[in-house]
Amino acid sequence: MKIAQVAPLYESVPPLAYGATERVVSYLTEELVRRGHDVTLFASADSTTRARLVPVCERGLWRDAGVWDTLTHHVRQLARVAHLAHEFDVVHFHGDPLHFPLADSLPVASLTTLHGQLLPVDHGPLFREFAAAPLVSISNDQRGPVPRANWRGTVYHGLPLDEFELQPEPGSYLLFLGRMMPGKRPDLAVEIARRAGWPLRMAAKVHPGERDYFSQQIEPLLKQSAHFTDYLGEVGGGLRRALIANARALLFPVEWPEPFGMVMIEAMACGTPVIAFRRGAVPEVLEHGVNGFIVDGVDEAVDAVANIARIDRVACRRSFEARFTAERMAADYLSIYEGLLEDRRAAAQPPVAHYSMYGR
């Protein structure tokens, strides 16, 4: 099958550090190539892939100090997709739905995976306007605000089996990893660690729009808790993997409807249990008592830290292998691609003429 993957341009594919969507696109692209498909990746020029790369910008836009208006680069990307679309069987878009008007006119099947939070006031009218646009959700919970869109399936994210290794003997710290934003409640991670009596390592990106939140709400807290909190900034590569693998537990105290939570399955792949608030997709991803604890608030999170040794790290890793591999993710998407192609073949069939002994 000839497949185009269209990635957001904010980070390279895969990203240097933070960037869950670009990481998922990379895992999917490489697994499809491994399976023998002809894959083209539309992404930034600093991306690394075994697929054919169509570069759009020199580097991930958030890594380029000269870039101000990221929209212009995504418009150029869509122009390149349109120019080459006839070469593919399926064009798979990831990220913001800027492409919807274009996808309607492409000569091939298209699919959109939505990676962010959906809002009825914003996405409801959009999905009614483009009611035929085939969509994939990354959790069932993500669909809640717009249940009547053209959902072709839910596909959970997956990782290559060898991306993370089981660490049966963890270190003596808790971990908060991801992004410094209000909905992820890094302040509660600090509170949980303090009350539980464990050191906390925090590795998180600060986006430009969240610098005020970080400087006003989080930096003072980090200074007050410097005796047990180690803030490392944004990390990637081997250091990121080591932080996850050696953590006693990952803290995930989200207070927004998290559509998936990539870091949870990365932790599972290491055997590192997750302590997460019952929000968004958390109950779909975690199995309470198997690969972590699902809690309702700080008090329960503190209790979960005290009981974290009850989680078998080998069983935690097995739960990842059973549900969240890149191989399973790619198989799910291929099934949806085939369904889209079958729909197009059926639509292209001429109507069957019906005759009778008396003529038409």
37-63 pLDDT, tens digit per residue, is 999 999 999 999 999 999 999 999 988
Please state the rounded mean pLDDT for residues 58-78: 94
Whether the predicted pLDDT of 150 surpasses 60: yes
Do the domains spanning 2-160+325-348 and 174-321 agree at the CATH topology level? yes
pLDDT the model gives residue 210: 85
Domain parsing of the chain, residue ranges:
2-160+325-348, 174-321
Could you tell me if 40 and 111 are in contact, meaning their C-beta atoms sit under 8 angstroms apart?
A: no
pLDDT the model gives residue 353: 58
pTM of the complete model:
0.93
Between residues 50 and 227, which one has the greater pLDDT? 50
Please state the rounded mean pLDDT for residues 121-138: 97
Q: Would you put residue 26 in left (φ > 0), alpha (ψ -120 to 50) or beta?
A: alpha
What is the CATH architecture of 2-160+325-348? 3-Layer(aba) Sandwich (3.40)
pLDDT the model gives residue 350: 74
Structure tokens at 44: 């930034």
Structure tokens at 228: 């047990």
Please give the CATH topology (third level) of the domain spanning 174-321: Rossmann fold (3.40.50)
Neighbours of 271 (CB within 10 A): 26
pLDDT mean across residues, the chain: 94
Length of the chain: 360
> Quick one: pLDDT band at residue 360, thresholds 50, 70, 90?
very low
pLDDT, tens digit, 9 for 90 and up, residues 288-345: 999 999 999 999 999 999 999 999 999 999 999 999 999 999 999 999 999 999 999 9
